[in-house]
Every structure is written in C-alpha cells, then in structure tokens.
A and B are shown apart, each in its own frame.
Chain A
Amino acid sequence: MSLTSPRPPEAAEGRDRTSGPGRLLIAVYGIFAVSSTARASYQILTKFGEAPVAYLLSAFAAVVYIVATVSLARPGGTAYRVSVVAVLVELIGVLAVGAFSIFDAQVFPNDTVWSAFGQGYGFVPLVLPILGLWWLYRHRPSALDRMTIDVEPRRTR
C-alpha cells in the first residue's frame, strides 16, 4: 500500500543520498573543504606574490569543496544539481591542474590541492570526484522517483 501512495519524492531521495556511504563521502568532502580553505587562506595571506595563479587556484578549489560538501549534504533537487556541477568542476579542475602542474612547474608549483593530480593528498582529490559522480548517478532523482512510484518492488538491486 505504501508503495502506491506517492511519498514526497524529494524527501525520499534526499534521505537516501545523504545516508549510508553518502555520509562518508560528505565527511571526506568536509575534510577537504576545511583543509583546502585553511591552506588557501595561509598561502594568500603570507606569500601571495610568489605564485598568484597557484594560490588563486587553491582558493578556487577550496570554494568548490565547500559548495560540494554543502550541496551533497542537503536534500532536494536543487542541491542535487548544484552538487553535480560542483563535483564536475572538481574533476575538471584536478585533471587540468594536474596536467598543467606536470608540464609547467613554474606557474603551478607543487602546492595546490590539485597539483600532480592530488599526489600530496594521496591522490584522494583525483578519486573523490569520480566516486562523487558515481554516487550522484546512483542516486539521481529520476531513478529514485521511479522506484518510489513503482507498484512492483524491483528485484534487480
């Protein structure tokens, strides 16, 4: 009976996305948000002139991590779309900065989160957006709407 009565899809979807493994994902994003913010603040406050491009990128990465953490932790369709964009930007960022830091070590010294594909952070910055996108794909609102409205429970999961 409860399967046919449509639950508010956003509530169901939000709970699912922020629970279980999602909590670990959000926690790791949170750690990166805090550490990259602290690091970027330090770099910009003490030695901005040394490598302005790299330190601005540090700050940009910090903002991306903050947006990703908050949007992943919030239920609802808007938060979902924001988190997809944030995690995509993160993936592009780590790939672009990673590649540039190897070709041009002058502009990108080895001290942003994304330098050398996040080597200084055990390559977690490279793996994190891939896991994030996979998690978001698995918990996309459309798929969950279907699961909520389905009369027959799916057995393929």
Chain B
Amino acid sequence: MIVDGFFLAGAIICLLSMLICVGAAILRQPPNDITIISVAVVELFLVVYAIAAVVRQLSGEPVLGEPWEFWGYFLTALLVPIGAFWWAILERSRWSNIVLGAVGITILVMLFRMEQIWDGVAGL
C-alpha cells in the first residue's frame, strides 16, 4: 500500500479524535461539544475522501482493487460515526466518550483497508 496524503490526513484526524475522546473520558467528562465535533470532523473527512475518490476515478486514476468493495467499505465507514454519536448521546457518562473514541480507531482501520483496496493490495 502506498502511504499517500489521504491516508496521512485521515490517520491524523482519526488519532486526534480518539485522543480527544479518550482524554475527555479519563477526565471523567461526558460527551461535550469538543468530543462530538472531533467525531464530526472524522465524518467530514470521509465525505471529502469520497469526493476525492470520485474525482480520481473519473480523472484516470482508478481503483485497482474491486470498486464495489471499496465503496462498500466507504458506506459502512460513513455509518460508524453516526451510529456511535447516536449511541453515545443516549447516556451522558464518560463511557460514552470512549464509545466516541472507538470511532477514530475503527475508521483508521477501515481507511487502511480502503487504501489497500485502492492500490490493489491483498483481498478480503
């Protein structure tokens, strides 16, 4: 897999979000604006990543792996921050911040897989 700007940007955003959320949990904070916004930024990154993927696809830089596997991963990833947000705000406890923190690590792993598929490395 080629480590490109998309992966680096996504990895930094995911790790920062995870650190913010877990940090807030350690400080015994329930989900607040900062932790929720950090998860929203992860979601925003995914949207930007998808737009960039469409542009790359159309401008002669296609997915080397299975395109529908790539987009399957993407659609699943898109649901993770939304689901975690919904699950976390149902209870205002610090554990809900760790639920939000799980978004960062999950999306990071999924981004890694999406990048692998994009570069045509390894199958599922």
Can you name 30 A-B pairs with beta carbons within 8 Å?
A: A19-B93, A19-B95, A20-B91, A20-B93, A20-B95, A21-B95, A22-B95, A23-B88, A23-B90, A23-B91, A23-B95, A23-B96, A24-B99, A26-B87, A27-B99, A30-B83, A31-B80, A31-B106, A34-B76, A34-B79, A34-B80, A35-B76, A38-B72, A38-B76, A42-B69, A42-B72, A42-B124, A43-B124, A46-B66, A111-B124
- Which of B73, B84, B124 is close to A27, meaning CB atoms less than 8 Å apart? B84
Residues of A within 8 A of B (CB): 19-24, 26-28, 30-31, 34-35, 38-39, 42-43, 46, 111
Interface centre among A19, A21, A22, A23 (most CB of B within 10 A): A23
Q: B98 at interface (Cβ–Cβ under 8 A)? A: yes
Q: B20 at interface (Cβ–Cβ under 8 A)? A: no
- In the complex with contacts A31-B106, A34-B76, A24-B91 CB distance below 8 A: no
Listed from nearest, the 8 A-B pairs whose CB atoms lie closest are A27-B99, A24-B98, A20-B95, A24-B95, A23-B95, A38-B76, A21-B95, A24-B99
Say what secondary structure dominates the interface of chain B: helix
Which residues of B are found within 8 Å of A24, using beta-carbon distances? 95, 98-99, 102
Is A30 within 8 A of B87, CB to CB? yes
Which residues of B are found within 8 Å of A46, using beta-carbon distances? 66
